[in-house]
Amino acid sequence: MRSYISINVIIIIFIHVNILITPFLTYHVQGFDSIIRLPYSGSTRTRPKTKQVLSITDFGAKGDGFHNDTQAFLEAWKVACSFSGFTKVIFPYGKTFLVHPIDIAGPCRSKVTLRISGTIVAPRDPEVWHDLNKRKWLYFHGVNHLSVDGGGKIDGMGQDWWSRSCKHNYTNPCKPAPTAVTFHRCKNLKVRNLMLINSQKMHMAFTSCRRVVASHLRVLAPASSPNTDGIHISATTGVVISRSVIRTGDDCISIVRNSSRIWIRNISCGPGHGISIGSLGKSNAWEKIHNVKVDGAYLYNTDNGVRIKTWQGGSGFASNITFKNILMENVSNPIIIDQYYCDSRDPCKNQTLAVQVGNISFINIEGTSATEETIKFACSDTSPCEGLYLENIFLPSYFGGDTRSYCWQAHGSAKGYVYPPACFSNSSDFIRQNVLLESNPAINSV
């Protein structure tokens, strides 16, 4: 009994001493709080790192949606970037921060977390970008080990940009518009738990990045908004995008030049233009895309489903790409490879050179098509599509009636049940699938 009482006395004394000492271990510098902890005895490998927390309101940000808070953001970033250890820059909940075009640069000594709990809004007037780079709004570059989260909102206020677009008014000249959030040459990047709405053009872009994880994102813009891709990936390697909802006026996810090791899973997409590889090879460029997997997606009311698109005259390759476990509802062009892509006011001239497309798989895809031509493989005469693979495909018409496949210079194979039947060149699968079609009364009654 005595030993039990003695132990409790020691514990009570330790608690009281800790309470008395702790206030003297706290200091305040330039509006942020940092707690310095005494090092543990023994190995330095168990020593905790110092953490700094900075709110941009402590650097003069008003957060009223009217005053310009750009300078406060820059100053908070500069301080956070200069520390060692871990730092947080916070946009507090319940406030709206007006931020003009901004350049956030690394590298940083610290691993920075940008916690957006409130709302960041862009200027409404495109003239704010006069004499500035019109392709950028929030531009992060050269930052390693950056995390962006917080449950808040980033609003591009893109309505005035859309009204000036040549996609809305063909008499207007085609001019650049900002990507809302760009990460360029960043490594070990995490972006999660954010809402992005009404971007001027693309909502979020990863360019020349390495090792990116993006999850739990909501990306929203009207179906009529031009070129408002949800997530754009360019020249980037090692990307995971998951558990996100994307509803925009263009591609939900677009993957372009020289990107690889991309994994997309559990995505809801629509409206928009679907999930796209490309376009590739524009202006006779050499470009490559390889090792891409889309595993788990729901697409509804989109202009395309899963798509690979290349320009005539380009070179390079798109290979080792898999689309699987996808549900579609009222989707136009559910499965499409188009090596004659031409997004131009003027007709594109015929060219023999083409980006090679091969080893592409479409597995476990079902739902309904808004068009009769459900599967389209329009491949190059000089560089036919090779190694195409269909397995367990069921895409009847949303409106009733038959659907069909179209193939040009497309070579591959099919397994399991495929409807509409495969139409690969020099393949027995076309005959086999037609036999299956005739023998299945359920399909004939669709």
Q: Which residues are catalytic?
A: 250, 273
Phi and psi at 66, nearest 5°, equal -115, -50
Phi (first) and psi of residue 310, to 5 degrees: -135, 150
Residue 389 and residue 360 in contact, taking contact as beta carbons nearer than 8 Å: yes
Distance, in Å, from the CA atom of 409 to the CA atom of 357, rounded to the nearest integer, reads 11
Q: Is 81 helix (H, G, I), strand (E, B) or coil?
A: helix
Q: How far apart are CA 193 and CA 337, in angstroms?
A: 33
DSSP string, 236-299: -EEEEEEEEEEE-SS-SEEE-SSEEEEEEEEEEE-SBS-EEEEEE-GGG-EEEEEEEEEEEEEE
Tokens 């299956």 -> residue: 436
* Gap between the Cα atoms of 67 and 57, Å rounded: 12
DSSP state of 143: -
What b-and-e string marks burial along 412-436, b requiring 16 or more CB atoms within 10 Å of the CB?
Answer: bebeebbbbbbbbeebebbeebeee
Neighbour count for residue 303 (Cβ, 10 Å): 19
